[in-house]
Structure 1
Amino acid sequence: MSKQNHERVAAVLWQDSPEPHDYPAAAAYLSLVLAEETVARVVAALERGPLTRHKAKDLLRASGLQLLGATDPHVAGDLAKVARGEKLSPVLLVRGDAAKGHPLQIADGYHRVCASYHIDGNTDIPAVLVDLP
């Protein structure tokens, strides 16, 4: 999808809560950066956590992750969903600690954050944000 097509999209639509399959995906990612017992507690907190809203540009900055291109297959898939008017699932986040040099962890939804940024970096993205236990 070209940048011109992104500009025609009025807004990214979001679901009211994360998809059930987002939690195992978050656990799979978090198991690479946290101990197993911590992963279980973080995922349980994510399942209970309230939705907050954060700008796409701020999520990328806080995570230290690079913006994936619009041609990345997963980003392109999310951009196509947006173009069709489909709602995206909120993202799952684990708060970083700037004082300790630990970035925000996008436990699930990195591609959705990137797709949203391609449409508008100021997109407010619904997210569940939890602290490490």
Structure 2
Amino acid sequence: MDIKEKSIRYNDLWLKEPEEHDFPAALDYLELLFEPETAAGLVTQLKQAKTIRKKAKDLFRASRLPLLPRDNIHVKENLKKVKNKKKLSPILLVRGKERLIIADGYHRLCCSYYLTEDLEVPCRLV
């Protein structure tokens, strides 16, 4: 799929708010890293946080996670959504001690990076 950078418009790609199912997904992941009470508290904070924008390349650098291949089934699914003009949900992030934790939205972040690394990604950060 070829999507040219100049044809990408922020409002065409992103929902204004995270989808409700993103929060339980974030909780499931965060419970692997934190005690359940701490994880639940972080998700509560994510629900209340204001949505901000950060560049995809900076989120990757801060998270220290690898870019998944374009043919990863979930990345490919998100690229297909964009092609079909379906909007993606903002990314849910937690500041870790040494790196940024992507609590939900890793595949969406990879998708956005393939569109353009300078793309601003909506996220909630706590």
| TM-score, normalised relative to structure 1 | 0.88
State the number of aligned residues.
123
Q: Distance in 2 between matches of 1:52 and 1:93?
A: 11
Runs of 4+ in 1 over 4 A off after TM superposition: none
Query: RMSD in angstroms over aligned alpha carbons?
Result: 1.3
Distance in 1 (CA, whole Å) between partners of 2:37 and 2:125 is 19
Identity of aligned residues (%): 47
- Contact 1:9-1:83 within 8 A present in 2 as well: no
Picking from 98, 111, 117, the partner of 1:115 is 111
Q: Secondary structure at the match of 2:4?
A: helix
Write out per-residue CA displacement over residues 28-69 of structure 1, whole angstroms, 9 at most, x where no aligned residue. 111111111100100000011100100000011100000001
Note the residue ranges of structure 1 that are not aligned, 5 or more in a row: none
- Distance in 1, Cα, partners of 2:84 & 2:5: 12
For 1:105, which of 84, 87, 101 is the aligned residue? 101
**Paired amino acid for 1:63:** S
- Structure 2 gaps of 5+ residues are none
In structure 1, the partner of 2:17 is 17
The Cα of 1:10 is off from its aligned counterpart by: 2.0
Letter in 2 for 1:10: S
Matches within 5 A, 1:49-88: 49-88=49-88
- Provide the rounded CA distance (Å) in 1 between the counterparts of 2:5 and 2:112: 13
Separation in 2 of the partners of 1:50 and 1:68?
27
Q: Does the CA contact (< 8 Å) of 1:9 and 1:82 recur in 2?
A: no
TM-score, with structure 2 as normaliser: 0.93
